[in-house]
Amino acid sequence: MREGSRLTAQGPEIQGASARIYAPRGFLMGKGLHILENKGIFAIQTIKKHLTLSRIMRNNRISSIACMLALGLACVPAHAQNNGEINDMTTPLHLLKPEYKVPYGELTVEEVKASIDRVFAYIESSTPVKVLDKDGKEVKNYKKIPHGATLDRGAFRIGSYEWGVTYQALLSAAEATGDKKYKEYVDRRFKFLAEVAPGFRKLYDEYKDTDAQMEQILHPKALDDAGAMCCAMMKAGAADKSLKLDDMIENYFEFIEHGQYRLADGTFARHRPQHNTIWLDDMFMGIPSIAYRGVYKPEESKKYFDEAAKIFRQFVERMYVPEKGLYRHGYVEGLHEQPTYHWARANGWAILTNCELLDVLPENHPERAFALEQLRKHVKGLASYQSSEGFWHQLVDKNDSYLETSATAIYVYCIAHAINKGWIDGITYGPVAQLGWHAVNTKITDKGQVDGTCVGTGMAFDPAFYYYRPANYQAAHGYGPVIWAGAEMIRLLNSWYPRTNDSGLHYYKVKQTNPSPLFYLTEDGKGEAVE
């Protein structure tokens, strides 16, 4: 029998050779003794089995305080019973509410959806779909776009890689919530870009210049211009053939496959800031598009799955630092000592790439086991660096660098996604994802702006560069990750059941209905109160 006791009208009910009697600051007599509030618990230990109340009171090992408790505190003045003093004798200190810096514990689908909607309302109002002539008048005939015309300038570029991430996030949110408005946003902007592209291309051919946003789309010069947008369009186009995105997809993919500079083994590389520099960012800017090409062109799936997996392994071999469980941001071919700064968002791009690859790589693919194990190692490494506030730091392993929103949101998405896919353990990592979401949610303003996001960042060989990069709501990098994180948290909350138990957040596969703040699990996974 387990140790414990319960006060009844007849006296204490004792279990086991040694037991506890619990009594609060106040209790009722008559039909039974009942706890009025979860405060002021007293314990009387080492009481012989099956003692009656009278025998307890006669037992010289029991304190006078215990006697007063058993008599209903009749001899204790009211002011003494309610003096409000908190100590180990009057209060179960383990149940005191901590002063968390971000919300902790309970989370509902409705709360997450409301946050996504707030962000969505802001970006929808901030990304118009119009062509304006040089006088600012709207152009509606896209077949005759006049020279000097531009896309309407909103707060964000609708053809940037940041918005490529946002489009993918919104498609995920539409699936997770069943709310069509997110997909409609994506469809409208993709249709708009597909409709205006021929007119702007004609202007470029004739005048050798065009709108800067359209220039980035028509003539990509880096993976930043092509990768995320290409992947987003393939996902949207595969789901809805009416979008007619083939021309734009092929233009993007041509650059990814043949226009982007690579090392001799095919790894994406750049010539800045040094010759033959590898940026961790380019894992995400390039590999997912190649992987999803295998979905978009199923007749060529093996070719593209193999290529994506090969390049992924080559990035890991150069960039992953096992002793940290993190990736370095940059790598320079031939350099004896590599710069090793673990920039947060770059690690986000790496784990996001890992998830995207696993999403499409066949179960029997020879590289799948490597990719899965790499994801698990990276998740473990990242989880060890999560701050007490739920965020991750700008330099992940430097806790004096600032707390950064976009990376935190990416990690939340990837960890939640990995749980939902069965790649990692929800019991272990569900609370990590939820704490991260609570943190991210504090950075969503009433207007739906996402604050605390690091601006665009190159790579450097010193820590000050990363420490002092500006961060604000105007950085486009935060919006897609936050929506993506929210969508995946909704999926997580629909399949797992988070509850606080003994004040700590825990994830359960069976919904816990016992109202007790302290419970243990039976073999069937249901909670039973600890008395």
Task: Give the pLDDT confidence score for residue 83 in this predicted structure.
Answer: 61
Cβ 408 vs Cβ 478: under 8 Å: no
Alpha helices in 384-470 (DSSP H): 405-421, 426-441, 463-467
Query: Could you give the CA distance from residue 449 to residue 443 in angstroms, rounded to a whole number?
Result: 8
Please enumerate, as own/partner, the contacts of 12-18 that have beta carbons within 8 Å and a separation of 24 or more: 12/47, 12/51, 12/53, 12/56, 12/70, 14/47, 14/48, 14/49, 14/50, 14/51, 15/49, 16/49, 17/48, 17/49, 18/45, 18/46, 18/47
Measured distance CA(474)–CA(157) in Å, rounded: 12
- How many CA atoms within 13 Å lie on the side-chain side of 388? 6
Nearest to 250 by CA among 303, 183, 197, 305: 197
Residue 160 makes CB contacts below 8 A (sequence gap 6+) with 216, 224, 229, 476
Rounded Cα distance, 185 and 251, in Å: 23
Where does 422-524 have alpha helices with state H? 426-441, 463-467, 479-495
Q: Which domains, from first to last, does the chain contain?
A: 4-95 (no CATH), 109-497 (1.50.10.10), 498-531 (no CATH)
Contacts made by residues 78-87, CB under 8 angstroms, sequence distance 24+: 81/25, 81/26, 82/25
Token representation of residue 275: 């010759």
Q: What is the mean pLDDT of each run of 10 residues along the chain (531 residues)?
A: 37 37 35 34 33 37 38 40 73 85 95 98 98 97 96 96 98 98 98 97 94 96 97 95 94 98 98 97 98 97 98 98 98 96 98 98 98 98 98 98 98 99 98 98 98 97 98 98 98 97 95 92 91 75
Q: Give the number of other Cβ atoms within 10 Å of residue 227's Cβ.
A: 30
Cα end-to-end distance, the chain, whole Å: 13
120 alpha-carbon distance from chain centroid = 17
Tokens coding 472? 């604000």
CB of 154 closer than 8 Å to CB of 128: yes
Token code pair at residue 420: 């939902």
